[in-house]
Amino acid sequence: MEPAEEILKEKLSKRVLSNKTTREGMLACLIVTMMKYLSAKGMNSSEDEVRRKIYDYAGEAFRSIKVDFEFPNLEDLKRVKSLIEDKIGAASIKENAPEIFNEHERICSILFSKYEG
């Protein structure tokens, strides 16, 4: 599987994103954020492990708001992002590593601004 950093870079290079590419970029951003935070805390997890966890949380989030994983709109993606952030403890990331959290927010904002369904 392609590394999350590469997926993210590819999505950010596009001018316009569909719902699926926005979703993939957002999930890649969550993976990258989590990897950076774990690394900063001296905890090593494999990207595959983090990816599985993020995708499990995403599946739960999409089901909880009753939206198909394949066809989310922008508001659905923002709600899912928030639900996943709750699961991964984004409040702790924001408090303990604000530079990592701020970068995550900046990248997600860029991805969402490119959304054209």
pLDDT tens by residue, 51-110: 999 999 999 999 999 999 999 999 999 999 999 999 999 999 999 999 999 999 999 999
Confirm whether 117 is domain-assigned.
Answer: no
- Does residue 56 contact residue 39 with C-beta atoms inside 8 Å? no
Q: Structural domain of residue 49, as residue ranges?
A: 4-112
In angstroms, rounded to a whole number, what is the distance separating the alpha carbons of residues 114 and 108?
A: 10
Confirm whether 81 is domain-assigned.
Answer: yes
Total number of domains in the chain: 1
In angstroms, rounded to a whole number, what is the distance separating the alpha carbons of residues 63 and 78?
A: 14
Confirm whether 33 is domain-assigned.
Answer: yes
- Does residue 12 contact residue 111 with C-beta atoms inside 8 Å? yes
